[in-house]
Structure 1
Amino acid sequence: MTTKTGFAAIAAREQGLKRQLTSAQMSMIAIGGAIGTGLFMGSSFAIGFAGPGVLVSYALGALIALLLMGCLAEMTVAHPTSGSFGAYAEFYISPLAGFLVRYAYWASIVLAVGTEVTAIAMYMKHWFPDVAGWVWILLFSSVLIFTNAISVKAFGHFEYWFSAIKISAILAFILLGAWLVFGGQNPEYGFHHYVEHGGFMPNGISGVWIAVIIAIFSYLSIEMIAVAAGEAEHPEQAVKKAFKVTMVRLVVFYLLTLALILAMVPWHQSGQGAQSPFVSVMAQVGIPGATGLINFVILVAALSAMNSQLYTTTRMMFSLSRAGHAPKAMGRLSEAGVPLNALALSCTGIALATLVNLVFPEQSFMLMMAISIFGALFAWMMIFLTHYRFRRYHQRLGNAPLAFRMWGFPYGTLLGLVLVLAVLITTAFVPAFRMTLVFGVPFLALLSIAYLLVLRRAAPAIGAEAGDLPVQLSGVGARTPEQERS
């Protein structure tokens, strides 16, 4: 047993990281992670499935993301640590749950890094069509790995400006699109595209629901705000601010941009998957240099998302090591407070993406997306379940009010859990996502077997069910073991 009890023992073993991220950087990191290839490239595949009904798909995805962020913000304000939702699952459900969430999520984001870097290779073909994709994969990967290796402060600065470029470009796109659609300059642009070419839902409700899978992939990485809280200067204020700002901006950016794209380019042209719908719009508008400019912006977006994902996977592997579930070397920190060994291991997705790009250059993006999404859906499901246990446990202890509280408990939490489970089950019936469960279920089974046979004995007995009290909640009163026993 560790010298500290309750969640404080989990937080104590993850000490050593530098708290150098500002509130402004935290907000940008959350936005930066979620506005990447999912919006700029994945939306093309979503439009192909749902047609104009993709707006409903992304609205449903936004609802799930909003519920998730509410649950996560409540737990993160109480427990700001880099282990985040993996550590919460360990304490409030079981050590096995914490182990599975961390590894499944780590694998998911490692593979998501692969989707970003694969997309980068596709974007570069706009300027250099004859250069092999793996050249760009290696070049840009090296730059971002170096950025993450310097310090968390360097990462924060890069991500802030990456995100600022993306947000500025999207705002400019929205203004241009609104002027073209509502200015009446060209009868080709307008909302009549919503009902032409098969109607608003050309592939029916099933097509709209399938596109929700891609919508969730697009919103993936908003949860990294919880991971970054472990290195925030003032985690409670930073998480609260990031939660409010991020959700409003994400919903506005995603839904407004897609609404304008569908009004400017017929869905059957923008939903081909061959290129970003943003590029398709700019090509049709005919502004000199606009296509190259938007291609540069989506390249920056992919680099930003990849930068954020490398950070997240590194901290998740660090947390696994400190929990005794990965080699001790993964938990060692450089003088700047960076887990370099964990960073090196987290680059495996880049290597896999390079290989897939060489073998399946045309199908690499969808294949990497289908494989990577399992861990994300599993982690989101477990976040909802953990929040349910977190709140019940808190109520049972009779603690003081939480510093941040998710509204609508338990209905919002349970609704989010059911919706994510339904999306995960849906992947089994969609050929493009068949690999999601084909890869995910055996992977989860192997992790469970490895834990039960090898790692369970080495894991410390820390958890809400192990009687480790009091629970250390930020800004929340806690009862003593004697009070609990009485």
Structure 2
Amino acid sequence: MESHEKGLQKTLQTRHITMISIGGIIGAGLFVGSGAVINTTGPGAVLSYAIAGLLVVLLMRMLGEMAIVNPDSGSFATYAREAIGPWAGYTIGWLYWFFWVIVIAIEATAGASIIHGWIPSLPIWMISLVLTFLLTLTNVYSVRSFGEFEYWFSMIKVVAICAFMLTGLVILFGFLPAHPSPGLSNLTQHDGFLPKGFTSIFIGILTVVFSFFGSEIAAVAAGESSNPEKNVVKAINSVVIRILLFYVGSVAILVLLLPWDQADLLKSPYVTMLDMVGIPAAAQVMNVIVLTSVLSCLNSALYTNSRMLYSLAKRGDAPKVLLRLSKNGAPVPAVLLSTIAAYICAIFNFVSPDKLFLFLVNASGAIALLVYIVIAVSHMRLRRKYEKENPGVLKLKMWMFPYLTYATIAAMIVILFSMAFVESMRSQFYLTMLIAVLVVLSYTFVKKKKKANVIEETREDLHA
């Protein structure tokens, strides 16, 4: 194990960064969750996806602007520290780490459940631990091995969603005689485009906005990119196309193809599409694709968590041992700590799923929105600083600054506090706020400890 003096290796290529950013957006939330959103919102779910997607596009543009000026493995936590203060960088960095630890446990269990369906003799808890362990190895070996695995995971997801969309279009344009095209009937019948009223769109946004979380990983990966400026610009500029095509486009096909009020068809809408064109074992094909999404999420979560820990340690907000690197430039202790924490959460999931694990899941529920708000506020402050100190440094600029940044901050705050008024999300809101307050309080303890260490070191130097 080597020291951190050489720093993280910058071996991620353009194709890695591009596919990492794509993979961050296409997940089980699209393949599985889109049907539930359509069933609760109606055809108007397309607007929910479009509005939430627009907000995320704006946020990624802000993040891209900051990432080009300062490509750092801590990403938005680093920018929050610089723009708002050390306490903000500390708080959002640890909250983000906590969020992905919970996601690792959830995704490992989901993936294990799929494999258990194929091999019932293997217990789910064992499979979940094995999956996490295997992907830990790819992250421990080198950043390039992570990039390669994520590249191919993302490629499979992209091919799958494009195939699904093509299948849907084949049916809609009437190229499948066995299943006549429904045309626009699913938009006009079944109580119309907004069967549950305009407010249902807003409820849909509350659910959908979390599906986009993960696209910010491209900015984290920029710190290990061989050409961060080129790669970040390419990744951020393509966010618009990805959201329009993969989310809004595919959901639009689903609402045209399937009646919104038939829950049995929407339980797994992509399986329904495959059944329509007579593809054998459609459910198993879907299981393979969802498993790929799960493994991709696990891989990315372990990566981004270790880099966030590394960044926190570099600024004295986490133990210095997390700065140790392998000969391949991988922060092994940081990866292992994330893995161990995920193992513990996975154990909670099997020992106390309805108490301990449910508490952890709910406590991480609104962290994505806190991260989004911090990104926007950091951009507001740093943009003015950059323009004042070195205007030429901005290679990628946020549109209509500062108005769109203000509008995005306001929208995210409204979405966050609206969670307190939605019964299914209320516990997530309050528990996340509780965890956030506890992390802020822990910062005061860490700050006092660091101050005491500085005083002690000064005394030792004077007596030396």
Q: Secondary structure at the match of 1:334?
A: coil
Whether the 8 Å contact between 2:69 and 2:393 is mirrored in structure 1 is no
Note if contact 1:193-1:263 (Cα within 8 Å) is conserved in structure 2.
yes
User: Alpha carbons of 1:276 and 1:73: their partners in 2 closer, same or farther (altered >3 Å)?
Assistant: same
- SS for the counterpart of 2:140 is helix
Residue 416 to residue 88, structure 1, CA distance change in 2 (3 Å)? same
Residues 1:61 and 2:56 aligned together: no
Relative distance call for 1:419 and 1:132 in structure 2 (3 A) is farther
Residues 223-234 of structure 1 aligned to structure 2 (within 5 Å): 223-234=216-227
Aligned-partner Cα distance in 2 for 1:199–1:287 = 31
Aligned equivalents of 1:229 and 1:389: distance in 2?
A: 21
Say which of 375, 389, 394 aligns to 2:386. Answer: 394
Structure 1 residue identity aligned to 2:32: M
What stretches of structure 2 of length at least 5 have no aligned partner?
453-464
Establish whether residue 24 from structure 1 lines up as the match of residue 19 from structure 2. no
Structural RMSD (CA) = 2.6
Q: Residue 139 of structure 1: which of 130, 133, 141 is its match?
A: 130
Deviation at 1:160, TM superposition (A): 0.6
Distance 1:328 1:146, change over 3 A: same
Partner of 1:470: none
Equivalent position of 2:279 in the other structure:
287
User: In structure 2, what is the Cα distance between the partners aligned to 1:307 and 1:455?
Assistant: 33
Aligned to 2:456: none
User: Equivalent residues in 2 for 1:79-118 (5 A)?
Assistant: 79-118=70-109
From 127, 133, 153, give the equivalent of 2:144.
153
Q: Please tell me whether residue 173 in structure 1 is matched to residue 164 in structure 2.
A: yes
Contact 2:97–2:308 under 8 Å retained in 1: yes
In the TM superposition, residue 357 of structure 1 has moved relative to its aligned partner by 5.1
> How big is the shift at 1:305?
1.9
More displaced, 161-170 or 283-292?
Answer: 283-292
Alignment CA distance shift 1:130-1:261 (3 Å): farther
1:250 maps to which of 243, 247, 251: 243
- Distance in 2, matches of 1:137 and 1:316, equals 23
| 1:208 aligned to which of 198, 201, 212 | 201
Deviation at 1:58, TM superposition (A): 0.7
Q: Kindly tell me: are residues 200 and 73 of structure 1, through their superposed partners in 2, closer, same or farther at Cα, counting changes over 3 Å? A: same
Q: Deviations over 1:334-380 (max 9, x none)?
A: 2211112211221223542453256449xx8x987654332211011
Q: Compared with structure 1, are the counterparts of its residues 259 and 340 closer, same or farther at alpha carbon in structure 2 (3 Å cutoff)? A: same
Partner of 2:431: 439
For 1:447, the aligned partner's letter is: V
Counterpart residue number, 1:302: 294
- Aligned twin of 1:468: none
Contact 1:48 1:272 in 2 (8 A): no
**What displacement does 1:130 show?**
7.5
Aligned residue runs from structure 1 range 418-457, under 5 A: 418-455=410-447
Could you tell me how far apart the structure 2 residues matched to 1:31 and 1:329 are? 32
TM normalised by structure 1 equals 0.85
CA–CA separation in structure 1 for the residues paired with 2:99 and 2:45:
24
- Aligned match for 2:66, one of 55, 70, 75: 75
Residues 242-286 of structure 1, C-alpha deviations (whole Å, 9 max, x = no match)? 11223312321111211222233322335888x533223324443
Query: The residue matched to 1:458 in structure 2 has which SS?
Result: helix
Q: Which shifted more, 369-378 or 167-176?
A: 369-378
From the superposition, tell whether residues 52 and 124 of structure 1 become closer, same or farther in structure 2 (CA, over 3 Å).
farther
Shift in Å, 1:383: 0.3
The answer for the alignment partner of 2:462 in structure 1 is none
Separation in 2 of the partners of 1:431 and 1:415? 26
Q: Once the two structures are aligned, what percentage of the paired residues are identical?
A: 36
Secondary structure of the 1:199 match is coil
SS at match of 2:24: helix
CA distance in 1, matches of 2:120, 2:187: 33
Give 1:64 deviation, angstroms.
Answer: 0.7
In 2 relative to 1, CA 211–151 (structure 1 residues): closer, same or farther, beyond 3 Å?
same
Residue 232 of structure 1: CA displacement? 0.3
- Over 3 Å counting, the alpha-carbon distance change for 1:359 and 1:401 in structure 2 is closer
Asked if the contact 2:167–2:274 (Cα under 8 Å) also holds between the matched residues in 1, the reply is no
- Partner of residue 310, structure 2: 318
Q: 1-side partners of 2:54 and 2:5: how far apart?
A: 32
CA positional deviation for 1:207:
2.5
2:335 to 332, 336, 343: 343
What residue ranges of structure 1 are gaps of 5+ in the alignment? 1-12, 461-486
1:265 corresponds in structure 2 to: 258
**CA–CA distance in 2 between the matches of 1:243 and 1:339?**
26
CA-to-partner distance for each residue in 1:408-447, whole Å, 9 max, x for gaps? Answer: 1001111111111111112112222223223211111111
Deviates more, 1:369-378 or 1:242-251: 369-378
Q: TM-score, normalised by structure 2?
A: 0.89
Q: How big is the shift at 1:204?
A: 2.5
| Count of aligned positions | 445
Counterpart code for 2:426: R
Deviation, 1:79, is 0.2
Q: 1:334 aligns with which of 326, 339, 353?
A: 326
Instruction: Mark the CA change 1:271 to 1:195 in structure 2 (over 3 Å): closer, same or farther.
Output: farther
Counterparts of 2:265 and 2:163, CA distance in 1: 24
Give the Å deviation of 1:202. 2.8
Identify the match of residue 236 of structure 1 among 226, 229, 235: 229
One-letter code of the match for 2:14?
S
